[in-house]
Structure 1
Amino acid sequence: MSGAPTREVARRVFADEFNDASYTFKESDDERAPVYVLLPTGERANRIFVVGTLTETEDVGEDSEYWQGRVVDPNGDTFFMYAGQYQPDAASMLRELEPPAYVSVVGKPRTYETDDGEVNVSLRPESISQVDEATRDRWVVETAERTTERIQRYEGDETNEYAEMAREEYDLPVENYRRTVVGALESLEEEQRDESEATV
Protein backbone atom coordinates (compact mmCIF):
# COMPACT_ATOMS: atom_id res chain seq x y z
CA MET A 1 0.00 0.00 0.00
CA SER A 2 1.23 3.49 -0.76
CA GLY A 3 1.54 6.03 2.00
CA ALA A 4 -0.62 8.53 0.12
CA PRO A 5 -3.66 9.65 2.12
CA THR A 6 -6.88 8.14 0.83
CA ARG A 7 -9.78 10.45 0.07
CA GLU A 8 -12.56 10.28 2.59
CA VAL A 9 -15.91 8.83 1.57
CA ALA A 10 -18.35 11.66 0.82
CA ARG A 11 -21.36 11.15 3.12
CA ARG A 12 -24.89 11.59 1.87
CA VAL A 13 -26.91 13.66 4.30
CA PHE A 14 -30.10 15.74 4.21
CA ALA A 15 -29.80 19.45 4.93
CA ASP A 16 -31.55 19.52 8.30
CA GLU A 17 -29.15 16.93 9.76
CA PHE A 18 -26.16 18.64 8.13
CA ASN A 19 -27.20 22.02 9.55
CA ASP A 20 -27.47 20.48 13.03
CA ALA A 21 -23.91 19.08 12.76
CA SER A 22 -22.14 21.86 14.64
CA TYR A 23 -19.43 19.82 16.40
CA THR A 24 -16.06 19.32 14.67
CA PHE A 25 -13.01 17.31 15.74
CA LYS A 26 -9.71 15.81 14.56
CA GLU A 27 -8.58 12.24 15.17
CA SER A 28 -4.92 13.18 15.63
CA ASP A 29 -2.72 16.13 16.58
CA ASP A 30 -1.14 16.28 13.14
CA GLU A 31 -1.95 19.73 11.77
CA ARG A 32 -2.73 18.18 8.37
CA ALA A 33 -5.16 15.69 9.93
CA PRO A 34 -8.65 15.93 8.45
CA VAL A 35 -11.29 17.90 10.32
CA TYR A 36 -14.50 15.93 10.75
CA VAL A 37 -17.96 17.21 11.43
CA LEU A 38 -19.99 14.90 13.67
CA LEU A 39 -23.38 14.04 12.21
CA PRO A 40 -26.13 13.83 14.87
CA THR A 41 -26.91 10.27 13.68
CA GLY A 42 -23.47 9.17 14.87
CA GLU A 43 -21.16 9.30 11.86
CA ARG A 44 -18.09 11.42 11.18
CA ALA A 45 -17.92 13.28 7.87
CA ASN A 46 -14.96 14.97 6.23
CA ARG A 47 -16.70 15.29 2.86
CA ILE A 48 -20.38 15.60 1.94
CA PHE A 49 -22.21 14.67 -1.26
CA VAL A 50 -25.35 16.67 -1.98
CA VAL A 51 -27.79 16.81 -4.89
CA GLY A 52 -30.57 19.36 -4.87
CA THR A 53 -32.00 22.49 -6.44
CA LEU A 54 -29.68 25.46 -6.68
CA THR A 55 -32.12 28.25 -5.89
CA GLU A 56 -29.87 31.26 -5.53
CA THR A 57 -26.30 32.41 -6.21
CA GLU A 58 -24.75 35.66 -5.07
CA ASP A 59 -21.28 37.19 -5.09
CA VAL A 60 -20.90 38.24 -1.45
CA GLY A 61 -17.18 39.08 -1.71
CA GLU A 62 -15.93 42.59 -1.02
CA ASP A 63 -12.44 42.74 -2.53
CA SER A 64 -12.57 39.60 -4.66
CA GLU A 65 -15.27 37.23 -5.87
CA TYR A 66 -16.72 35.06 -3.11
CA TRP A 67 -19.79 33.17 -4.21
CA GLN A 68 -22.61 31.96 -2.01
CA GLY A 69 -24.94 29.27 -3.30
CA ARG A 70 -28.11 27.89 -1.77
CA VAL A 71 -29.06 24.30 -2.54
CA VAL A 72 -32.45 23.09 -1.36
CA ASP A 73 -33.25 19.44 -0.67
CA PRO A 74 -36.73 17.88 -1.13
CA ASN A 75 -37.77 18.87 2.41
CA GLY A 76 -37.19 22.52 1.58
CA ASP A 77 -34.13 22.72 3.85
CA THR A 78 -31.08 24.64 2.61
CA PHE A 79 -27.40 23.80 2.26
CA PHE A 80 -25.30 26.96 2.12
CA MET A 81 -22.04 26.78 0.20
CA TYR A 82 -19.28 29.29 -0.34
CA ALA A 83 -16.55 29.29 -3.02
CA GLY A 84 -13.84 31.86 -3.63
CA GLN A 85 -10.40 32.11 -5.19
CA TYR A 86 -9.23 28.84 -3.62
CA GLN A 87 -12.14 26.93 -5.21
CA PRO A 88 -11.94 28.43 -8.73
CA ASP A 89 -13.90 25.67 -10.50
CA ALA A 90 -16.75 25.76 -7.99
CA ALA A 91 -16.77 29.57 -7.98
CA SER A 92 -17.01 29.73 -11.77
CA MET A 93 -19.89 27.21 -11.72
CA LEU A 94 -21.75 29.40 -9.23
CA ARG A 95 -21.04 32.42 -11.43
CA GLU A 96 -22.33 30.72 -14.59
CA LEU A 97 -25.26 28.59 -13.43
CA GLU A 98 -28.76 30.04 -13.79
CA PRO A 99 -30.97 29.07 -10.85
CA PRO A 100 -33.12 27.12 -10.48
CA ALA A 101 -30.99 24.16 -11.56
CA TYR A 102 -30.36 20.67 -10.24
CA VAL A 103 -26.75 20.37 -9.06
CA SER A 104 -24.56 17.79 -7.42
CA VAL A 105 -21.96 19.07 -4.98
CA VAL A 106 -19.06 17.36 -3.25
CA GLY A 107 -17.56 19.51 -0.55
CA LYS A 108 -16.01 19.88 2.87
CA PRO A 109 -18.16 20.81 5.83
CA ARG A 110 -17.16 24.05 7.52
CA THR A 111 -18.45 25.48 10.80
CA TYR A 112 -18.20 29.03 12.05
CA GLU A 113 -19.51 30.79 15.12
CA THR A 114 -21.71 33.85 14.75
CA ASP A 115 -21.44 36.90 17.01
CA ASP A 116 -24.29 35.61 19.17
CA GLY A 117 -22.63 32.22 19.74
CA GLU A 118 -24.64 30.19 17.23
CA VAL A 119 -22.66 27.68 15.18
CA ASN A 120 -23.51 27.71 11.47
CA VAL A 121 -22.56 24.93 9.08
CA SER A 122 -21.76 25.39 5.41
CA LEU A 123 -20.11 23.54 2.55
CA ARG A 124 -16.88 24.47 0.81
CA PRO A 125 -17.46 22.86 -2.59
CA GLU A 126 -14.71 20.85 -4.27
CA SER A 127 -16.87 20.25 -7.33
CA ILE A 128 -20.27 21.37 -8.59
CA SER A 129 -21.99 19.77 -11.60
CA GLN A 130 -25.32 20.41 -13.21
CA VAL A 131 -27.38 17.20 -13.19
CA ASP A 132 -30.82 15.98 -14.25
CA GLU A 133 -33.88 15.23 -12.18
CA ALA A 134 -33.26 11.47 -12.24
CA THR A 135 -29.86 12.00 -10.58
CA ARG A 136 -31.49 14.13 -7.88
CA ASP A 137 -34.19 11.49 -7.32
CA ARG A 138 -31.58 8.73 -6.99
CA TRP A 139 -29.66 10.84 -4.46
CA VAL A 140 -32.81 11.29 -2.37
CA VAL A 141 -33.44 7.54 -2.25
CA GLU A 142 -29.79 6.71 -1.47
CA THR A 143 -29.55 9.44 1.18
CA ALA A 144 -32.74 8.14 2.79
CA GLU A 145 -31.17 4.64 2.91
CA ARG A 146 -27.84 5.89 4.34
CA THR A 147 -29.59 8.04 6.96
CA THR A 148 -31.79 5.11 8.01
CA GLU A 149 -28.70 2.87 8.31
CA ARG A 150 -26.97 5.48 10.52
CA ILE A 151 -30.05 5.73 12.75
CA GLN A 152 -30.22 1.93 13.11
CA ARG A 153 -26.52 1.78 14.07
CA TYR A 154 -26.99 4.73 16.43
CA GLU A 155 -29.82 2.92 18.21
CA GLY A 156 -28.52 -0.63 18.05
CA ASP A 157 -24.71 -0.61 18.28
CA GLU A 158 -23.39 -0.08 21.80
CA THR A 159 -19.80 0.05 20.54
CA ASN A 160 -20.40 2.85 18.02
CA GLU A 161 -17.99 5.52 19.28
CA TYR A 162 -19.40 8.25 17.01
CA ALA A 163 -22.95 7.55 18.17
CA GLU A 164 -21.68 7.83 21.74
CA MET A 165 -20.00 11.12 20.85
CA ALA A 166 -23.21 12.37 19.17
CA ARG A 167 -25.23 11.53 22.28
CA GLU A 168 -22.78 13.58 24.36
CA GLU A 169 -22.49 16.54 21.98
CA TYR A 170 -26.07 16.93 20.76
CA ASP A 171 -29.29 17.09 22.67
CA LEU A 172 -31.24 16.10 19.57
CA PRO A 173 -33.67 13.19 19.23
CA VAL A 174 -32.48 10.98 16.40
CA GLU A 175 -36.18 10.53 15.62
CA ASN A 176 -36.02 13.98 13.93
CA TYR A 177 -33.96 12.49 11.11
CA ARG A 178 -36.28 9.54 10.65
CA ARG A 179 -39.01 12.12 9.98
CA THR A 180 -36.67 13.86 7.52
CA VAL A 181 -36.26 10.59 5.60
CA VAL A 182 -40.02 10.01 5.44
CA GLY A 183 -40.65 13.61 4.37
CA ALA A 184 -38.04 13.44 1.60
CA LEU A 185 -39.39 10.18 0.17
CA GLU A 186 -42.99 11.43 0.36
CA SER A 187 -42.13 14.67 -1.46
CA LEU A 188 -40.39 12.64 -4.15
CA GLU A 189 -43.45 10.41 -4.61
CA GLU A 190 -45.65 13.49 -4.74
CA GLU A 191 -43.50 15.10 -7.45
CA GLN A 192 -43.53 11.94 -9.51
CA ARG A 193 -47.29 11.61 -9.13
CA ASP A 194 -47.79 15.21 -10.23
CA GLU A 195 -45.56 14.67 -13.24
CA SER A 196 -47.33 11.49 -14.33
CA GLU A 197 -50.70 13.25 -14.00
CA ALA A 198 -49.36 16.17 -16.04
CA THR A 199 -48.36 13.84 -18.87
CA VAL A 200 -51.71 12.03 -18.99
Structure 2
Amino acid sequence: MQSESRFTPRYQREPARRVFAAELREAHYHFKDGEDEKSPTYVLLPTGERCNRVLIIGSMTQKEKRGDQNIFYQIRVSDPTGTFFVSASSFQQEAMTQVSKIDPPAFVAVVGKPSVYEAPDGRVFVSVRAESVTVVDKEMRNCWVLDAAERTLKRLETFGTTEDSKLAGEHYATNLDVYRRMAYEALAQITI
Protein backbone atom coordinates (compact mmCIF):
# COMPACT_ATOMS: atom_id res chain seq x y z
CA MET A 1 0.00 0.00 0.00
CA GLN A 2 1.36 3.39 -1.00
CA SER A 3 1.68 6.22 1.41
CA GLU A 4 -0.96 8.96 1.21
CA SER A 5 1.69 11.65 1.63
CA ARG A 6 3.07 10.74 -1.75
CA PHE A 7 -0.15 12.00 -3.33
CA THR A 8 -0.62 15.03 -1.12
CA PRO A 9 0.23 18.22 -3.01
CA ARG A 10 3.14 20.15 -1.55
CA TYR A 11 1.49 23.42 -2.42
CA GLN A 12 -2.10 24.10 -1.49
CA ARG A 13 -3.94 26.99 -3.16
CA GLU A 14 -5.59 29.57 -1.00
CA PRO A 15 -9.40 29.53 -1.10
CA ALA A 16 -10.98 32.25 -3.24
CA ARG A 17 -12.88 34.58 -0.90
CA ARG A 18 -16.24 36.05 -1.89
CA VAL A 19 -16.07 39.79 -1.39
CA PHE A 20 -18.12 42.71 -2.66
CA ALA A 21 -16.50 45.48 -4.71
CA ALA A 22 -17.30 48.15 -2.10
CA GLU A 23 -15.34 46.25 0.55
CA LEU A 24 -12.40 45.28 -1.65
CA ARG A 25 -12.08 48.90 -2.79
CA GLU A 26 -11.52 49.88 0.88
CA ALA A 27 -8.92 47.15 1.53
CA HIS A 28 -5.50 48.79 1.43
CA TYR A 29 -3.63 46.89 4.15
CA HIS A 30 -1.52 44.13 2.60
CA PHE A 31 1.24 41.91 3.92
CA LYS A 32 3.36 38.84 3.21
CA ASP A 33 2.91 35.79 5.40
CA GLY A 34 6.49 34.54 5.65
CA GLU A 35 9.99 35.60 4.82
CA ASP A 36 10.81 33.87 1.55
CA GLU A 37 9.90 35.06 -1.94
CA LYS A 38 7.25 32.35 -2.38
CA SER A 39 5.37 33.40 0.75
CA PRO A 40 1.81 34.42 -0.09
CA THR A 41 0.75 38.05 -0.10
CA TYR A 42 -2.57 38.88 1.51
CA VAL A 43 -4.97 41.80 1.46
CA LEU A 44 -6.76 42.29 4.77
CA LEU A 45 -10.46 42.98 4.29
CA PRO A 46 -12.05 45.64 6.52
CA THR A 47 -14.44 42.96 7.83
CA GLY A 48 -11.49 41.01 9.20
CA GLU A 49 -10.42 38.28 6.82
CA ARG A 50 -7.19 37.95 4.89
CA CYS A 51 -7.46 37.02 1.25
CA ASN A 52 -4.89 35.91 -1.26
CA ARG A 53 -7.47 35.05 -3.93
CA VAL A 54 -11.01 36.24 -4.62
CA LEU A 55 -14.02 34.98 -6.55
CA ILE A 56 -16.10 37.79 -7.97
CA ILE A 57 -19.13 37.63 -10.22
CA GLY A 58 -20.74 40.57 -11.90
CA SER A 59 -21.38 42.29 -15.17
CA MET A 60 -18.35 42.97 -17.35
CA THR A 61 -19.16 46.51 -18.43
CA GLN A 62 -15.92 47.50 -20.12
CA LYS A 63 -12.96 45.83 -21.81
CA GLU A 64 -9.83 47.56 -23.05
CA LYS A 65 -6.86 45.96 -24.82
CA ARG A 66 -3.54 47.63 -24.03
CA GLY A 67 0.12 47.31 -24.92
CA ASP A 68 1.99 46.54 -28.13
CA GLN A 69 4.66 44.05 -27.11
CA ASN A 70 3.18 42.95 -23.80
CA ILE A 71 -0.53 42.84 -24.52
CA PHE A 72 -2.96 42.80 -21.61
CA TYR A 73 -6.62 43.54 -20.97
CA GLN A 74 -8.21 45.76 -18.39
CA ILE A 75 -11.84 45.07 -17.62
CA ARG A 76 -14.42 46.43 -15.24
CA VAL A 77 -16.80 44.07 -13.49
CA SER A 78 -19.73 45.53 -11.56
CA ASP A 79 -21.58 43.91 -8.68
CA PRO A 80 -24.48 45.48 -6.73
CA THR A 81 -22.05 47.47 -4.54
CA GLY A 82 -19.60 48.91 -7.08
CA THR A 83 -16.91 48.09 -9.60
CA PHE A 84 -13.92 45.76 -9.58
CA PHE A 85 -10.92 46.66 -11.73
CA VAL A 86 -9.49 43.49 -13.27
CA SER A 87 -6.42 42.88 -15.42
CA ALA A 88 -5.57 39.85 -17.53
CA SER A 89 -2.06 39.59 -18.94
CA SER A 90 0.28 37.08 -20.53
CA PHE A 91 1.39 36.03 -17.02
CA GLN A 92 -1.99 34.29 -16.83
CA GLN A 93 -2.39 33.28 -20.46
CA GLU A 94 -5.62 31.35 -19.86
CA ALA A 95 -7.36 34.38 -18.34
CA MET A 96 -6.11 36.68 -21.10
CA THR A 97 -7.39 34.31 -23.80
CA GLN A 98 -10.75 34.00 -22.03
CA VAL A 99 -11.15 37.79 -21.77
CA SER A 100 -10.23 38.28 -25.43
CA LYS A 101 -13.27 36.18 -26.41
CA ILE A 102 -15.85 37.97 -24.23
CA ASP A 103 -17.68 41.08 -25.37
CA PRO A 104 -19.34 43.29 -22.76
CA PRO A 105 -21.93 43.42 -21.42
CA ALA A 106 -21.77 39.90 -20.03
CA PHE A 107 -21.99 38.30 -16.60
CA VAL A 108 -18.58 36.87 -15.73
CA ALA A 109 -17.00 34.92 -12.88
CA VAL A 110 -13.43 35.97 -12.12
CA VAL A 111 -10.98 34.15 -9.89
CA GLY A 112 -7.90 36.21 -9.23
CA LYS A 113 -5.44 37.76 -6.85
CA PRO A 114 -6.13 41.16 -5.30
CA SER A 115 -3.29 43.67 -5.52
CA VAL A 116 -2.87 47.00 -3.76
CA TYR A 117 -1.21 49.90 -5.59
CA GLU A 118 -0.31 53.32 -4.27
CA ALA A 119 -0.31 56.22 -6.71
CA PRO A 120 2.38 58.92 -6.45
CA ASP A 121 -0.26 61.27 -4.99
CA GLY A 122 -0.93 58.80 -2.15
CA ARG A 123 -4.26 57.41 -3.41
CA VAL A 124 -4.59 53.65 -3.01
CA PHE A 125 -6.10 51.39 -5.67
CA VAL A 126 -7.07 47.74 -5.46
CA SER A 127 -7.30 45.63 -8.58
CA VAL A 128 -7.67 41.92 -9.29
CA ARG A 129 -5.13 40.01 -11.41
CA ALA A 130 -7.29 37.43 -13.16
CA GLU A 131 -6.43 33.72 -13.09
CA SER A 132 -9.63 32.73 -14.92
CA VAL A 133 -12.60 34.53 -16.41
CA THR A 134 -15.75 32.63 -17.37
CA VAL A 135 -19.10 33.76 -18.76
CA VAL A 136 -21.96 32.89 -16.39
CA ASP A 137 -25.70 33.51 -16.35
CA LYS A 138 -27.83 35.80 -14.21
CA GLU A 139 -28.82 32.93 -11.91
CA MET A 140 -25.16 32.24 -11.10
CA ARG A 141 -24.60 35.95 -10.45
CA ASN A 142 -27.57 35.98 -8.06
CA CYS A 143 -26.22 32.90 -6.24
CA TRP A 144 -22.86 34.66 -5.85
CA VAL A 145 -24.54 37.77 -4.41
CA LEU A 146 -26.32 35.56 -1.85
CA ASP A 147 -23.07 33.77 -1.01
CA ALA A 148 -21.00 36.97 -0.78
CA ALA A 149 -23.62 38.59 1.47
CA GLU A 150 -23.77 35.52 3.72
CA ARG A 151 -19.98 35.38 4.05
CA THR A 152 -19.78 39.12 4.72
CA LEU A 153 -22.40 38.85 7.47
CA LYS A 154 -20.57 35.86 9.01
CA ARG A 155 -17.32 37.87 9.09
CA LEU A 156 -19.23 40.63 10.87
CA GLU A 157 -20.61 38.16 13.45
CA THR A 158 -17.11 37.04 14.42
CA PHE A 159 -15.49 40.47 14.11
CA GLY A 160 -13.15 41.16 17.01
CA THR A 161 -12.75 37.48 17.95
CA THR A 162 -9.96 36.56 15.50
CA GLU A 163 -6.44 37.91 15.14
CA ASP A 164 -7.17 39.19 11.60
CA SER A 165 -10.43 40.91 12.60
CA LYS A 166 -8.72 42.60 15.54
CA LEU A 167 -6.02 43.86 13.17
CA ALA A 168 -8.71 45.07 10.75
CA GLY A 169 -10.48 46.90 13.58
CA GLU A 170 -7.24 48.68 14.49
CA HIS A 171 -6.17 49.44 10.94
CA TYR A 172 -9.50 50.41 9.36
CA ALA A 173 -11.60 51.43 12.39
CA THR A 174 -14.28 49.29 10.71
CA ASN A 175 -17.86 50.46 11.05
CA LEU A 176 -19.73 47.14 11.05
CA ASP A 177 -23.06 48.83 10.25
CA VAL A 178 -21.68 50.11 6.93
CA TYR A 179 -20.80 46.58 5.77
CA ARG A 180 -23.99 45.07 7.17
CA ARG A 181 -26.03 47.65 5.24
CA MET A 182 -23.93 46.99 2.11
CA ALA A 183 -24.72 43.25 2.28
CA TYR A 184 -28.46 43.80 2.75
CA GLU A 185 -28.61 46.41 -0.02
CA ALA A 186 -26.82 43.98 -2.38
CA LEU A 187 -29.38 41.29 -1.54
CA ALA A 188 -32.22 43.74 -2.26
CA GLN A 189 -30.87 44.26 -5.79
CA ILE A 190 -31.15 40.62 -6.80
CA THR A 191 -33.61 40.33 -9.66
CA ILE A 192 -35.29 37.21 -10.90
TM-score, structure 1 length as denominator?
0.89
Equivalent residue for 1:187, pick from 173, 176, 189: 189
The aligned residue for residue 57 of structure 1 is 63
Note if contact 1:10-1:47 (Cα within 8 Å) is conserved in structure 2: yes
Equivalent residue letter for 2:156? I
The answer to whether the 8 A contact 2:19-2:55 is kept is yes
Preserved contact between residue 43 and residue 50 of structure 2 (Cα < 8 Å): yes
| Counterpart-to-counterpart distance in 2, 1:46 and 1:131 | 23
1:28 shift after superposition = 1.3
Instruction: Pick one of 83, 104, 108 that aligns with 1:103.
Output: 108
Per the TM alignment, residue 20 of structure 1 is displaced from its structure 2 partner at its CA by 0.7
Q: Is residue 119 of structure 1 aligned with residue 94 of structure 2?
A: no
SS at match of 2:158: helix
- 1:49-198 equivalence runs, <5 A: 49-75=55-81, 77-155=82-160, 157=161, 160-188=162-190, 191-192=191-192
What's the CA shift for 1:61? 2.3
Of 91-100 and 142-151, more deviation after overlay is shown by 91-100
Aligned length: 186
Q: CA separation in 1, counterparts of 2:18 and 2:76?
A: 17
Distance 1:167 1:58, change over 3 A: same
1:32 aligns with 2:38: yes
Q: Percent identity?
A: 43
Preserved contact between residue 55 and residue 110 of structure 2 (Cα < 8 Å): yes
Alpha-carbon distance change, 13 to 101 in structure 1, aligned in 2, over 3 angstroms: same
Asked if 1:9 corresponds to 2:15, the answer is: yes
Structure 2 distance, partners of 1:85, 1:113, is 23
Which runs of 5 or more structure 1 residues have no equivalent in the other structure?
A: 193-200
**Residue type at the aligned position of 2:184:** V
Structure 1 distance, partners of 2:80, 2:20, is 9
Matched, 1:23 2:29: yes
Q: In structure 1, what is the Cα distance between the partners aligned to 2:68 and 2:166?
A: 42
CA shift digits 1:12-36 (9 cap, x unpaired):
0000001111111122112211001
Q: Equivalents in 2 of 1:171, 1:122: separation in Å?
A: 22
Runs of 4+ in 1 over 6 A off after TM superposition: none
- 8 Å CA contact 1:40–1:174 kept in 2: the answer is no
